Amino acid sequence: MIKSLTVSGLAVIGDVELDLDAGLTALTGETGTGKTMLLHAISLLRGQKADVARLAPGASEMSIEAVFELPPAAASPQLWQALGDMDAAVDGNELIVRRVVKAEGRASASVGGRAVPTTLLAEITDRLIAVHGQHSARLLAKTETHRRLLDAYAGAEHAALLDQCASAHKEFLQLTGAVEKAQATSQNDLLLLESMQALVLAADDLRATRGEDQILREQAIAAHELLAQRESLLQALGLLAGEGDETSNAAMLLAQAERILGQAGEIAASARELVRNSATHAREAASELLQLVGGDEEHAVETERIEQRRAALASVVRRFNASTLDDFLDRADAARTYLSASGQAADPDELQRLRDEADAHSHSLAALVSESRHAAALRLSAAVNVELSALGFTFAGFTVNTQPAARTAHGADLVDFQLATRPTAAAVSLAAGASGGEMSRVSLALTVVLSASEHMPAMIFDEVDAGIGGHTAHAVASKLADLAERTQVIVVTHLPQVASIASAQWVVSANPGGSTVTRVSDSGRVVEICRMMGTDPLDPAAVEVAYSLLSRASAAHMGSQTLLDSPL
């Protein structure tokens, strides 16, 4: 679950700190007060692309930090494995996730104190937070979503079967392509084959790695810089202690000066001592320089090796008209793939036999997937209908329909979610359209059913109650509360029925200096419920209705809300 969420520098809401509880939390407030910005903060933690336009005016950066209470390792082994692989710091069972966006556009992310790319950030947080909104409901208008949800519900054995089906279909397509190439063999193909063989042979002889030319270039620059430094050191060494007559280096000149000053007697004793010290320093400096310029032979050999390797790489790149070494290696990889297929094409009859076997294998696996999907469709239909009944769709009929379709990597089924709003009505595909209220309830029912088979520590619902009201609103509220008994649920809502059943409520309010987010309880909740109903919180009748909603919710879920004393 999310234990706390700290936001700073975000447009509209500025700085906010939320200490969140388990169970159901409602986030309410007038339209335009900033609830969407809080959801944007969550989206940034889930790896969404950063947008500096979302910074608060004058802010140098915006930061979002969440403290998560992690589920047990047994419940989420893949999450704990990923955290272990990245050496993330976990304090007990608490994990800190942070995202920072600078005003100049730079962004960074960290998980457990470790800097991570946004792809890894998303991989981790996708196992910690699930967000469902009106967009999720709109996705139900696509049959591709229907297939994906059914496959997710079908379980681990079905997932393994899908992997086998995808691999078999891929092999079938590859062999089909190879057969077509074999049938179209021509003299041009033979010439191309020879050029591909030459390319692969050159790459094998070169044994280069991607980026090697750039690494060698940097090494060559460093070697030449070192050579220039060595020339300076050698020049200085020659001046200090070079071979020749007594006037050829500083050490000899200083020794000569010391002897001459010795002839001057005591009057030059101090100067003679200074010259002697200078001579000593000159010899010491020469000795140190001699050590620094040591290893001439090894340096020359290494420099020669670098230049020879660079020349070899450049020669091959020019020979094959490649733009860079990486371009040459990419062409060599493509040539290997081509030669692999061409090698099979050398025996068209054998290739056709392999293709037919792959076709039969792919077909049999697709049939097993269809059988598994059909069984899962019956279970999913029954489970969703139970939830829809609890959501006020007593006479609705939800059906997961599977029909034969062209074979793909996903099998050979068209999966279609269909809804009949009353017993006498024909079932209509959700892809053909449904009302906002119908789509919201189906989306929520599916979420409840699917969440039972996967452990998600926190679920966020963004106005999934759109288009509903009355008794249905009470049913949706009750279903969200039921869901919150097994996972943390945060819901952005405009429905007083949903807000009243929450165990905690936060209100986003607009102010001249920016919006504020405040936790309300007791009388504060009564006032907010009145506002949500569109009534005056000073009206005793309105207050009594708000109190009644809160008390009704409390009575239905005693574990999540303490009964209020009537304010009247």
Question: Per-residue b/e over 280-297, b at no fewer than 16 CB within 10 Å?
Answer: eebbebbeebeeebeeee
Q: Are residues 16 and 113 in the same domain?
A: yes
Please report, for the domain that includes residue 30, its CATH number: 3.40.50.300
CA distance 9 to 280: 64
Residue 245: inside a domain, yes or no? yes
pLDDT for 157 equals: 94
14, 8 contact by CB (below 8 A): yes
Per-residue pLDDT tens digits for 12-67: 888 899 999 999 999 998 888 888 888 889 999 998 888 888 888 888 999 999 99
pLDDT for 134 equals: 66
Residue 49: inside a domain, yes or no? yes
Q: Are residues 367 and 410 in the same domain?
A: yes
- What domain range includes position 317? 212-334
Per-residue pLDDT tens digits for 356-402: 999 999 999 999 999 999 999 999 999 999 988 888 777 778 999 99
Q: Are residues 113 and 242 in the same domain?
A: no
Question: Per-residue b/e over 530-567, b at no fewer than 16 CB within 10 Å?
Answer: bbbbebeeeeeebbebbbebbbebbeebeebbeebeee
Question: Per-residue b/e over 166-196, b at no fewer than 16 CB within 10 Å?
Answer: bebbebbebbeebbebbeeeeeeeeeebeeb
Domain finish residue from 305, 334, 363? 334
Question: Per-residue b/e over 336-348, b at no fewer than 16 CB within 10 Å?
Answer: eebeebbebbeee
Residue 395: inside a domain, yes or no? yes
The segments of the chain whose pLDDT lies below 50 read 344-345, 559-563, 566-568
Q: Are residues 481 and 535 in the same domain?
A: no
Q: Are residues 254 and 303 in the same domain?
A: yes
pLDDT for 566 equals: 46
Number of domains into which the chain is organized: 4
Q: Are residues 370 and 428 in the same domain?
A: yes
CA distance 141 to 171: 32
Residue 566: inside a domain, yes or no? yes
Q: Are residues 386 and 458 in the same domain?
A: no
Nearest by Cα to 116 from 173, 29, 166, 45: 45
Residue 165: inside a domain, yes or no? yes
